Amino acid sequence: MTTDLMFWFIAISSLLGLGFAWYFYQEMMKIDEGTDTMKKIALYVRRGAMSFLKQQYRVVIIVFIIMAIFFAILSYGFNLQNHWVPFAFLTGGFFSGLAGFLGMKTATYASARTANEASKSLNAGLKIAFRSGAVMGLVVVGLALLDISIWYKILDFFVEEADQKHKMIMITTTMLTFGMGASLQALFARVGGGIYTKAADVGADLVGKVEAGIPEDDPRNPATIADNVGDNVGDVAGMGADLYESYVGSILATASLGAAAYFGSEWSNDIQIKAIFAPMLIAALGILLSILGIFVVRTKEGANMKQLMRSLERGVFTSSFLIAIGTFVIFYLLDLPNWLNLSFAVIVGLVVGLVIGFGTEYYTSSAFKPTQRIAEAGQTGPATVIISGIGIGMVSTALSVFAIVVGILLSFLLAANFDMANLSNGLYGVGIAAVGMLSTLGITLASDAYGPIADNAGGNAEMSKLGPEVRKRTDALDALGNTTAATGKGFAIGSAALTALALLASYIEEIRIGLIRVGNTTIEIGGQAINTADASITDFMAYYNIHLMNPKVLVGVFIGSVMTFVFCGLTMNAVGRAAQKMVTEVRRQFREIKGILTGEAEPDYERCVEISTKGAQMEMIFPSLMAVIIPIFTGLIIGVPGIMGLLTGGLGSGFVLAVFMANSGGAWDNAKKYVEEGNFGGKGSDTHKATVVGDTVGDPFKDTSGPSLNILIKLMTMVSIVMAGLTAVFSLL
Amino acid sequence: MTTDLMFWFIAISSLLGLGFAWYFYQEMMKIDEGTDTMKKIALYVRRGAMSFLKQQYRVVIIVFIIMAIFFAILSYGFNLQNHWVPFAFLTGGFFSGLAGFLGMKTATYASARTANEASKSLNAGLKIAFRSGAVMGLVVVGLALLDISIWYKILDFFVEEADQKHKMIMITTTMLTFGMGASLQALFARVGGGIYTKAADVGADLVGKVEAGIPEDDPRNPATIADNVGDNVGDVAGMGADLYESYVGSILATASLGAAAYFGSEWSNDIQIKAIFAPMLIAALGILLSILGIFVVRTKEGANMKQLMRSLERGVFTSSFLIAIGTFVIFYLLDLPNWLNLSFAVIVGLVVGLVIGFGTEYYTSSAFKPTQRIAEAGQTGPATVIISGIGIGMVSTALSVFAIVVGILLSFLLAANFDMANLSNGLYGVGIAAVGMLSTLGITLASDAYGPIADNAGGNAEMSKLGPEVRKRTDALDALGNTTAATGKGFAIGSAALTALALLASYIEEIRIGLIRVGNTTIEIGGQAINTADASITDFMAYYNIHLMNPKVLVGVFIGSVMTFVFCGLTMNAVGRAAQKMVTEVRRQFREIKGILTGEAEPDYERCVEISTKGAQMEMIFPSLMAVIIPIFTGLIIGVPGIMGLLTGGLGSGFVLAVFMANSGGAWDNAKKYVEEGNFGGKGSDTHKATVVGDTVGDPFKDTSGPSLNILIKLMTMVSIVMAGLTAVFSLL
C-alpha cells in the first residue's frame, strides 16, 4: 500500500462514519416526539443539559487558554517544546468536547422519541434508541480519525527534518499533544458530569424516595429533571469525551511507538511509515465494520427480550469477528516484518477486552453468586451490604489484572518475536493490542450510549404518565443495555491500562527529542558516550537511573499511588457535598411551595438544575487540575525517574482501584434490583432498604470516581509527555 | 566501642526489658480481681482467648512445619539457601507468637483487676491498665532483641567465610529468614485475630444492639463474651505479634543494609560491624528509655482527664526526646564516617512517625472537622455516612504519603552525604530512620495495648453490674487510649513503609549471595564481566533489567497492586461470613433458650466463642497463604524483575490502602461517638443509627484488613528474600 492510499482509506472511513452518524440523526429527528407533555419534559431536560455544557465549556475554555499560553511560553520562549504543541493541545480539547456535545444533543432529542416509539412496540423503541446511540459511537470514532488525518497532513507538510525517519518521530510525538488536550477535556467532562449526575441522583433519591416516599422519576420531585439531565451530561457527554480520548490515545501512542520501534538502520522508511499507519488502518476498518454491525442489529416485529439481546450481541460480535479477520489482511498487505504476530496481538487485545467484560458481568450481574450474596447480606442490614460489596469488588480485581497481565506479556512477546529484550517492538505490540481492543468502538459505544437514552425515555414516560406498559418496555431496554454496557466497560478499562503502558514508552521518546532539542546530542552511560538519536530505551533507563532501587523512582511510585486515592476521595466528597445541597433545596421546595406533593403545584425544576450545575462546576476544578499540576511539580523536583515512578505507581493502583470501584458499584446496583425482583422480601422490605443504601454508595463509585480514574491515569502520562522537554534537562534533586 | 561491649549492652537491655515486664506482671497479679462475678467473667474471657490461641497455633504449626521442610529441601537438597534458614524461620515464628501470647495472657488477667481498681479511682485504673500494657510493650522489644542477640552469637560462631566482610553479610542476611518467620506468624495472628474480633463485634452489635435493643456488653447477649475475647486475640495478641515483626524487621533489614553499605575496599571490618550493630544499639537504648518513660507515667490522686492525658504523653515524649539525644551519643561513640548525618536520619524517622500520628488524629478524632463532617452526613442517612467516610479516608492518605516521601528522601540524602547515586549508604539511612521511628516501641506499645485492656475492663464492669460510674471511668480510660493509639498506629504504619523499602535492598543482597552460592562469581553487564561479590546495586539493576520499561517489572507492579486489594477483599468477606454465622447463632439462642432476654437464663457463651474461633481459623488460611505463594510463583515465572515490580507495586498500593482503611474506620468509629455525645440528635436518633452503620463497616477496615496490610507488604518481601536463591538462577520467561 502506498502512503496516499493508506491516508485516504483512513480519511474516507472517518468521513463515512460521520456521514452515517448524520444519516441516523436525521432518521431519528423525523420521528414524532409524542404528546405536548412529553415535548415539554424533553425540552426541560435538553435545556438543562445544554445550560450545563455551556457553563462547563466556559470554565474549561479558561483552563485551556491558560495552559495553551503556558505551552506557548515553553515552546516559543524557551524552545523546550515543539511549536505545534499549543495548537494541537487546543484542537484535541475541542474535538473531544465536540464529540460529547453532539452525542448529548442527539440523546436529548432521542429520549422522548424513544418513549413514543416504545409505546408502539419494544422493537421500535430498541431501534430508535440504538440508532441514536450509534450516532454517538460513530461521531466519536469519525471525529477522532478525522482529527488525526488532518493533523498528520498538516505536520507532514510543515515539519522539516533532515531525514524522513526523524521526521516521523517528530510528527507522531507532536500529535500526542493533541491527545493531552483530549484527555484534559475528557477528565473535566467525566468529573463534572459524574458529580452532576450523582449529586442529582443521590439528592433526588434521598428526599424523594426515602423521605417523601414517592417513586423514581415522579414529576412531583423537584430534582427529577436534574436527575434526567444528569444521565445526559454524565453518561452521554462524559462518556463520549472519555472514549474519544481513549480511542485517540491508543492510536496516537501506538503510532508514536511504531515510529520509534521501526526506526534505525535495520528498517526502511517505508516500513516505519507502515508501522505508524497500522493502528489507524485498524481503526478505519473498525469504523466500516461498526457501521455494518449497526445495520445487523434489527429484529422482526414482536421479538421477545431474548431475541432483542441476541440481535444486539449479533451486531457487536459480527464487527468483532470481521475485525479479527480484517486485521490479518491489513497486516499482510502492509507486509510488516512480523505481520502475523502483530495480527495475533490484535486478537490478544480483543480477547482481553472480552475476558474483562465477562468478569465485569460475572461480578456485577444478579444472575451470578457474588451479586446475589450482596443482596443476601441485606438481610442483616446496610452495614453488611457495604462490607460484602466492598469485599467482592476488591476480590473481583484479580480477574481483570490477570487478563491484563497475560495480555501484556503475550502481545509483547508476539510483537517482539519472543525476545524479551526487544523492548521497542514488544511495546509496539502492546499498543497494537490496545488499538485492537478499541477497534470496534463505533458499535460497542452505540450499545453503551443507548442505555442512558432508554433510561431517559423511561423518565419521560413516567413524568408524562404514559402508562406502566411503556415504562416496562423502556426498563427492559435499559436492562438490556446494562449487559452490553458491562462488556463496553471492560474494553474501556482494559484499553486504558494498555494505552497507559504504551504511553510510558512514548514518554521516553519525548525525552529523547527534548534532549536533542537543547543540544544534548550524546548521553553518557558508564563512561561511554551514546548518540541520543540512536540510544535504546534501555540506554535511557540507565542514563536516568530509572531502576527500582532509585529512591526517586520509589518516591514517585508512592506519589502515583496516592494520587489515585486522593482523586477518588476528592470526587466522592464532591458528590457528597453537591448531593447535600440538592437535598436541602428539595426539602425547601417541599416546605415552601405548597401543593407539590398533591400535584397541584409544579416544583421549581430549574433551581435544582442550577444547583447541580454550579455544584459540579465548582467541585470539578480541583481534582482535575491536580492531575495536571502534580506531575509537573514531581518532574521539576525529582526529574525523569520520579515521573516514571509516578506514572507506574498511578497505573498500578489506578487500574486496580478503577476496576474495584466500577464492580462494587455495579454489584450494589444490581443487588438492589435483584431484591426488587422479589428476592429476600422484595420491594419495600428491610432488605430492600439495606440494598438501596448500597446502591446509593455505589453511584459515585461506578459513575464518578471509577470511570474518571481511566482518564486520570492517561492524563498524567500525557501531561508528562508534553512537559518532557523541560524534565529532560532540569530537575531539582 | 568493642564488639563485645556492644553485644552485651544489647543483650542486657533486652533482659532488663523482660525483667521489668516480669516485675509489672507480678505487681498486677497481686491486685484483687474483684467480686465472684467479675472473676467468673474474666475466667470466661481468658478461657475463650486461650482456646482460640491453642486452635490458632495448632493450624499455624502445621503451616510452619510444611514450610520448614520446603526450606530444608531447598537448602540441604539443592544448596539454594543457607543451611540455617529452616531453623531461623521457625524461631522467628515462635518468638513472635510468644510475644503475642504473653501480652494476651497479661491482658486477660488485667481486665477484671482494672475494673476493680477503677471502682476505687480513675488514677488507680490508669496505673494498672497502663502497667499491664507495658508488660506487652517490654515483652515485645525484650524478646526481639534477645532473639537477635542469640542468633547473632550462634551465626558468628558457626558461619565460616573466607573473610570477615563476607561473613557479616552472610550473618545478617541469614537473620532475615528469622524475620520471615515472625512476619508469617504475625500475619496469621493479625488476620485470624482480626476476623475473630470483628465477626464477634459485628455479630453482637447487629443482633444485640440493633435487633434486640440491648446495650453493648450486656450479659444477656450470647456473643458478648466472644466480643471481649476478640479484643484480646485481635487487638492484643494480634498487635503484639504484628509489632514484634515490625520491630525485628526494621532492625534486621537495617543491619543487613549496614553490612552491605559499609562493605568493600573503602571500609574497614570495624566500621562494617559498627554499622550492623547501630540499629540494635538504638533499639537497646530505646528499651532502657521506654522503661524510664513508663515510670514517668504517674499522676497525683484525684487527677482529672486532662492531667491523665498529659501524664501519658509525658511518658512517651520523655522517651522520644531522650532517644533523639541518645542517638547522637551512640553514633558519636561508634564513630561511623557520617555519624552526624545518621543521627539526623533517626530524628527524621521520629518526626515522620509523629506527623503520620498527628494526621491520623486529625482525620479520625471527633475534635476536628473531617470526623464531624461524617457525623453531619448521618443526617441524610447511612449512605452519605459511608460516602463521606470513604472520601475522607482516601483524601487523608495524602498527608501520610507526603510525610513518608519527604522522610525517605531526607534520610536517604543524609546517610548518602547528599549524593543521590550513593545507593547503599542512602538506603541504610532509610533503614536507620525506620529503626528510629520504632525505637520507643516499648512505651508506645504500652499506651497502645492498654486500650483493649481498658475496653475489656469496661465489658467486665458492665456484665458484673458494677454501676455506671465505673463504666464511665473505664470508658474515659479507653478514650484516652484512643488518642495515644493514633500516634502508635502512625509509627507502625510509617515504619512498615520504610522497612519494606529497606528490605528491597536486602533482597538484592540475597540475590548476590544466591548467585555466588551456585557458582556465578561474575555477572555480565553490557559485555563487561563484573565480580558478583563487588557488584553494586546499580549493577544488579542493569544485569536483571530491573527498569521501568521492562514488561516483567510492569506486570509485577500490577500483580503487587492487585494483591493488596484482593487480600483486603478476602479478609472483608471473611469477616462478613463469620459475622453472618454469629448472627444466626445469636438469633437461634434468643429463639430457643427461653428467658435470656429477661435475664432468667444464661446464654450459651461458649458456643459463640467456638463459632468465632472456627470461623476465624478457616477464613485466615487462604489470604495468609496467598501472601506466601504468589511471590514464589511470580519469581518462578517472571524472575527477579517481576519480583521487584511486585514488591514495589505492593508497597505503593498497600501503604496507601492501609492508611485509607485505618483512617476511614477510625473516623467512622469516632463520628458515631460524636453523635452519641449529643450532637445531631444524639443517641437513638436516626443520625445515630446512620453512624452506627458507618462504625460497623469501619470495624473490618481498621481492625482486620487495614492493619494486616502492613504485615502483608513485609511478608511478601521476606518470602522473596528467602526464595532469592532460587529466583536468582531460574525463571521461566
Q: How would residue A283 be classed by pLDDT, with cut points 50, 70 and 90?
A: very high
- Percent of all residues in chain B with a pLDDT value above 70, rounded to a whole number: 99
Mutate to test the interface with A, among B405, B553, B646 (most CBs of A within 10 A): B405
Which candidate from A210, A394, A412 shows the least CB-CB separation from B551?
A412
Mean pLDDT within A378-403: 95
Task: Search chain B and give the residue with CA nearest A640.
Answer: B548
Q: Which residue has the higher pLDDT, A489 or B83?
A: B83
Instruction: Please tell me the predicted confidence (pLDDT) of residue A559.
Output: 97
Q: How confident is the model at residue A78 (pLDDT cuts 50, 70, 90)?
A: confident
Q: Confidence class of residue B359 from pLDDT cuts 50, 70 and 90?
A: very high
ipTM: 0.95
Name the pLDDT band for A162 (thresholds 50, 70, 90): low
- CB neighbours of residue A516 within 10 Å: 16
- Greatest mean pLDDT among A215-224, A475-484, A555-564, B308-317 lies in A555-564
d(C-alpha A572, C-alpha A566), whole Å? 10
CA B730 – CA A114 distance, rounded (Å): 62
Q: Would the CB atoms of A693 and B546 count as touching at under 8 Å?
A: no
Mean of the per-residue pLDDT values of chain A? 91
pLDDT(A333) > 70: yes
> Of B402, B498, B554, B634, which to mutate for an interface test with A (greatest number of A Cβ within 10 Å)?
B554
In this prediction, residue B730 carries a pLDDT of 86
Say whether A377 and B697 touch across the interface (CB within 8 A).
no
Structure confidence at residue B43 (pLDDT): 93
- In whole angstroms, give the CA distance from residue B84 to residue B158: 10
CB-CB: which of A426, A554, A566 is closest to B408?
A554
> Which strand (E) or helix (H) includes residue B524?
strand B522-525
- Tell me if chain A has a CB within 8 Å of the CB of B410: no
Backbone angles phi, psi at B301, to 5 degrees: -60, 145
| pLDDT band of A716, cuts 50, 70, 90 | very high
Give residue B652's pLDDT.
96
User: Does position B306 have pLDDT exceeding 80, yes or no?
Assistant: no
Cα of B583 to nearest chain A Cα, Å: 8
Q: Residue B170 pLDDT > 70, yes or no?
A: yes
Q: Please write the tens of the pLDDT for every residue from B225-254.
A: 998 899 889 888 888 888 999 999 999 999
**Which of B388, B548, B550 has its CB closest to that of A573?**
B388
Residue B652 and residue A570: Cβ atoms within 8 Å? no
Q: Average of pLDDT values for A400-412?
A: 97
Average pLDDT on B610-624 reads 90
Per the CB < 8 Å rule, is B377 touching A576? Answer: yes
φ, ψ (nearest 5 deg) of residue A524:
-105, 125
Residue A302, pLDDT score: 66
The Cα B707–Cα B661 span in angstroms is: 9
User: Percent of chain A beyond pLDDT 90?
Assistant: 62
**pLDDT for B722 beyond 80:** yes
Q: How far apart are CA A43 and CA A109, in angstroms?
A: 9
Q: How far, CA to CA in Å, does A491 sit from each of A187, A325, A352, B693? A: 18, 19, 8, 35
The reply to whether residue B652 touches residue A651, judged by beta carbons under 8 angstroms, is no
Identify from B195, B501, B512, B558 which residue to disrupt to test chain A contact, counting A C-beta atoms within 10 A and taking the largest count: B558
Among A373, A385, A554, A577, which would you mutate to test the B interface (most chain B Cβ atoms within 10 Å of its Cβ)?
A554
* In A292-408, beta strands by DSSP E: none
**Residues of A (289-348) whose Cβ lies below 8 Å from B:** none
Summarize the confidence of residues B83-100 as an average pLDDT.
92
Answer yes or no: do B653 and A561 touch at CB < 8 A: yes
- By CB atoms closer than 10 A (0-12, 13-18, 19+), residue B396 is buried
**Contact residues, B window 679-698, toward A, CB-based 8 Å cutoff:** 692-693, 696-697
Q: How many residues does chain B have?
A: 733
The pLDDT of residue B331 is 94
Size of interface A-B (CB pairs under 8 A): 283
B506 lies within 8 A of chain A by CB: no
pLDDT at B162: 67
- In A499-614, DSSP assigns E strands to 522-525, 528-531
Question: Do A555 and B405 count as a contact with CB atoms less than 8 A apart?
Answer: yes
Q: Do B390 and A430 touch (CB under 8 A)?
A: no
Residue A717 has pLDDT above 80, yes or no: yes
Question: Residue A169's pLDDT band (boundaries 50, 70, 90)?
Answer: confident
- What φ, ψ does residue A213 adopt, rounded to 5°? 70, 30
Question: Which of B655, B627, B643 has the alpha carbon at shortest distance from B712?
Answer: B627
Whether residue A164 has pLDDT greater than 80: no
CB-based contacts of B63-68 (< 8 A; 24+ apart in sequence): B63/B184, B63/B188, B63/B621, B63/B624, B63/B625, B64/B89, B64/B90, B64/B93, B64/B181, B64/B184, B64/B185, B67/B184, B67/B628
User: How near does any CA of chain B get to the CA of A639, in Å?
Assistant: 12
**Percent of chain B topping pLDDT 90:** 61
Asked if residue A160 lies in contact with residue A677, where contact means CB atoms within 8 angstroms, the answer is: no
A575 close contact with B: CB closer than 8 A: yes
Q: Does A626 touch chain B (CB under 8 A)?
A: no
Residues A26-32: contacts with CB under 8 Å, at least 24 apart: A27/A131, A28/A106, A28/A109, A28/A110, A28/A113, A28/A128, A28/A131, A28/A132, A28/A135, A29/A109, A31/A113, A31/A116, A31/A117, A31/A128, A32/A113, A32/A116
Distances (CA, A) of B420 to A548, A557, A638, B425: 14, 17, 11, 10
Q: What pLDDT, on a 0 to 100 scale, did the predictor assign at position A376?
A: 94
| B580/A377 touch (CB, cutoff 8 Å), yes or no | yes
B 221-280 residues inside an 8 A Cβ radius of A: none
Partner-chain contact B653 A653, CB within 8 Å: yes
Mention every residue, 6+ apart, whose C-beta is less than 8 A from residue A162.
none
Q: Read off the pLDDT of each residue in B666-673 and give the average, rounded to a whole number.
A: 93
- Rounded to 5 degrees, what angle do the CA atoms B153, B154, B156 make? 65
Q: Is-contact A107 A452, C-beta < 8 A? A: yes
When computed from its CA atoms, the radius of gyration of chain A, rounded to whole angstroms, is: 25
B359/B403 Cα distance (integer angstroms): 10
Q: Are A39 and A61 spatial neighbours (Cβ–Cβ below 8 Å)?
A: no
Confidence of residue A239 (pLDDT cuts 50, 70, 90): confident
pLDDT at A301: 64
Nearest CA in chain B to A418: B733
Average pLDDT of the residues of chain B: 91
Q: What is the pLDDT of residue A77?
A: 87
Closest residue by Cα to residue A388 from B579, B554, B551: B579
B530: phi > 0 → left, psi -120 to 50 → alpha, else beta; which?
beta
A554 touches chain B (CB under 8 A): yes
The answer to whether the CB atoms of B644 and A548 lie below 8 A apart is: yes
Q: In the predicted model, is pLDDT for residue A639 greater than 70?
A: yes
- Give the confidence band of A91 by pLDDT, cuts at 50, 70, 90: very high
CB contacts, 8 Å: A693 with chain B: 381-383, 386, 693
Residue-wise pLDDT tens digits, B413-429: 999 999 999 999 999 99
DSSP one-letter code for B221: S
- Tell me the pLDDT tens digit for each residue of B157-169: 888 776 777 888 8
The 3-class SS string of B30-43 reads: CCCCCCHHHHHHHH
Looking at the predicted structure, is the pLDDT value of residue B302 above 70?
no
Nearest-Cα distance to chain A for B691, in Å, is: 10
Tens digits of residue pLDDT in A354-379: 899 889 989 998 889 999 999 999 99
Of A395, A554, A560, the CB nearest to B566: A395
Distance from CA of A584 to the nearest CA of B (A): 10
d(CA A543, CA A555): 19
B374 close contact with A: CB closer than 8 A: no
- Which residues in A lie closer than 8 A to residue B576 (C-beta atoms)? 377, 384, 387-388, 391
User: Among all residues of chain A, which has the CA nearest to that of B696?
Assistant: A383
Using CA atoms, how far apart are residues B38 and B115, in angstroms rounded to an integer? Answer: 9
φ, ψ of residue A78 in degrees (nearest 5): -115, 0
Among candidates A380, A401, A733 on the partner chain, residue whose Cβ is nearest the Cβ of B558: A401
Mean pLDDT of B62-84: 90
How many Å lie between the alpha carbon of A46 and the closest alpha carbon of chain B?
29
CA distance linking residue B43 with residue B26, whole number of Å: 18
Contact B409 A541 (CB under 8 A): no
Q: Do B557 and A397 touch (CB under 8 A)?
A: no
pTM: 0.95
Task: Name the H helices within A159-268.
Answer: 164-204, 224-230, 239-261
Signed CA dihedral, A720, A723, A728, A731: sign only: negative
Whether the per-residue pLDDT at A310 is higher than 80: the answer is yes
Phi, psi of B465 (to 5 degrees): 55, 50
* Helices vs strands, H then E, count in chain B: 21, 2
B680, B665 Cβ separation under 8 angstroms: no
Nearest to A394 among B381, B554, B569 (CB): B569
How far does CA B664 lie from the centroid of its chain? Answer: 18
**CA separation (Å) from B543 to A1, A16, B537?**
42, 52, 10
Give me A66's grid cell. 491558560
